[in-house]
Amino acid sequence: MLANPAALSTLALWPLLILFCATEISSYFLWRRKARRIADEEGRFTPTRGHRRLRLAYELLTTVALLCMFFSFSTQISFIFAGVFVVIVALQGLLAGLRYLLRRTGWSTEVNRLVTQLLSFLVAFAVIGGVTWGAIRLIQDEPWRETYTWQGDEYDVHPIDLPLTLADLTGQPYEHISREQLETRTFFLSRQSCKETVGQPQKQLTWNYEVTDIRRPWLRDTVVRDYLENTGDTFTIPSRQIKFTIDWDWVPEEDPGAWGADAAYRKVYIDKQNGHRNPVNTYLLFYGDRIVELDLPQKLTDIQRATVGERLGIHI
């Protein structure tokens, strides 16, 4: 949540939006009761009263939240946001121009309102549908990436650079590589998620890691505790109405110094039936205000662990 600018913006805006809507609705019913009484007693209309300051505050915070999201995502996603914003502004301008044209050509207010409302609905539907379709296509296809197919899998023609690669760990060059990277940043945390897939004749190797920097030192204890205490994954199969939990835990490594870390943990899965604890090659490393979580294809040697600390233990 703290590393996700979209989630934080939504969390900040929802309470204000609820307050804004509740104020408008309650004000309407209060005005309606007063207006009916005055109309019956004095025969005159009671003017309505808006909430200009509240509306301006909501619009200002919405703008700030959108700007924070814009500058928190990667370059490609930021361009998508900018494109959506330009399209929305252009469509709003077209609607305003249409309303003005209908007034100038003598159409009645009722026709003007009906046409405007209908087109506004269609425009909103088109924008939301277009953004959803475009986002799905970009996530699935990533048109800015040039790829080729080898043994039925896609790999990058020009793989992007990552702070740590499998070649750095093994010292071996790889011909078929696919890499992904996602960066997000908020006032509280910054996060870099990396994934690499290496194609080999025998089998395909995939591994990933996540580097989180705590930008506010007073949050460190809370974030560390969240990593260490929130263990266990719950899965649901809706079609069969089955819900089950896989229990796991972090076990301290005997020698965190091999990683060059302040503390190091390894993930172990817990077998409920016999109580066995099965370790896997997933590690959690702490370097000051930096947290590194790695999901590795195999257990590392001490030299490889030192390489991880050299590459990821310092600020990227």
Do 151 and 121 lie in one domain? The reply is no
Q: Residue 21, exposed/middle/buried by CB under 10 A (0-12, 13-18, 19+)? A: exposed
Q: Are 248 and 284 in contact (CB under 8 A)?
A: no
Tokens read off for 43: 């025969």
pLDDT of 74 over the 70 cut? no
Query: In terms of domains, do 153 and 65 share one?
Result: no
Domain identity same for 182 and 215: yes
| Residues 229 and 277 reside in one and the same domain | yes
- Same domain for 69 and 97, yes or no, is yes
Tokens of 83: 């494109």
Average pLDDT of the residues in 64-93: 72
C-alpha neighbours within 13 Å on the C-beta side of residue 32:
6
The pLDDT of residue 75 is 63
Q: Is the pLDDT of residue 81 over 90?
A: no
159 φ, ψ (degrees, to nearest 5): -60, 140
Q: 40 pLDDT exceeds 80?
A: yes
Residue 220 has pLDDT above 80, yes or no: yes
CB atoms within 10 A of CB 87: 15
Q: Collapsing DSSP states into helix, strand and coil, what is residue 241?
A: coil
In terms of residue numbers, what domain contains 193? 147-312
The answer to whether residues 230 and 171 belong to one domain is yes
Instruction: Report if pTM > 0.85.
Output: no
Quickly state the pLDDT bin for 316 (edges 50, 70, 90).
very low
Q: Is pLDDT of 129 > 90? A: no
Choosing from 103, 125, 141, the residue where a domain stops is 141
Measured from the Cβ of residue 247, the count of other Cβ atoms closer than 10 Å reads: 13
- DSSP states along 177-240: EEEEEEEEE-SSEEEEEEEEEEE-SS--EEEEEEEEEESSGGGHHHHHHHHHH---EEEEEGGG
On the question of pLDDT at 234 being above 80, the answer is: no
pLDDT score, position 101: 83
* C-alpha torsion sign, points 301, 306, 309, 312: negative
Contact between 185 and 67 (Cβ < 8 Å): no
User: 49, 27 in Cβ contact below 8 A?
Assistant: yes
Interstrand relation of 147-150 and 233-237 (parallel, antiparallel or unpaired): unpaired
Q: What is the pLDDT of residue 287?
A: 93
Q: Which tokens go with 94?
A: 């077209």
> Phi, psi at residue 191, to the nearest 5°?
-140, 140
The reply to whether 176 and 297 lie within a common domain is yes
CB 230 within 8 A of CB 223: no
Would you say residue 218 has pLDDT above 80?
Answer: yes
Q: Cα-Cα-Cα-Cα dihedral of 49, 51, 52, 54, to 10°?
A: 170
What percent of the chain lies above the pLDDT cut of 90? 28
Please give the pLDDT value at position 128.
76
Domain boundary residue, one of 122, 141, 160: 141
The total number of residues shown for the chain amounts to: 316
The model's pLDDT over 88-109, given as tens digits with 9 standing for 90+, comes to 788 778 888 887 887 888 778 7
Write down the pLDDT at residue 60.
84
* pLDDT value of position 117: 83
Average pLDDT of the chain to the nearest whole number: 83
- Residues 185, 307, single domain; the answer is yes
For the segment 63-69, the average pLDDT, to the nearest whole number, is: 73
Higher pLDDT, 71 or 158: 158
**Contact 156/174 with Cβ under 8 angstroms?**
no
Boundary residue ending a domain (82, 115, 141) = 141
Clarify whether residues 58 and 81 are in a common domain.
Answer: yes
Type of residue numbered 169: L
Residue 3 backbone phi and psi in degrees, to 5: -100, 0
What integer is the mean pLDDT of 8-25?
A: 83
Same domain? For 133 and 155 the reply is no
Tokens of 233: 């994954």
264 has pLDDT over 60:
yes
**What average pLDDT does range 199-219 have in this prediction?**
90
**Residue 175 shares a structural domain with residue 224:** yes
pLDDT over 60 (residue 315): no
Residue-wise pLDDT tens digits, 165-190: 999 998 888 889 999 888 888 888 99
Both tokens of residue 71? 């500058």
Total domains in the fold of the chain: 2
Question: Phi and psi at residue 154, in whole multiples of 5°?
Answer: -95, 140
DSSP β-ladder status, 263-270 and 176-185: unpaired
Looking at the fold, whether 30 and 127 belong to one and the same domain comes out as yes
Cβ neighbours of residue 252 closer than 8 Å, sequence gap 6 or more: 263, 264, 265
Paired residues of 183 in beta bridges:
192
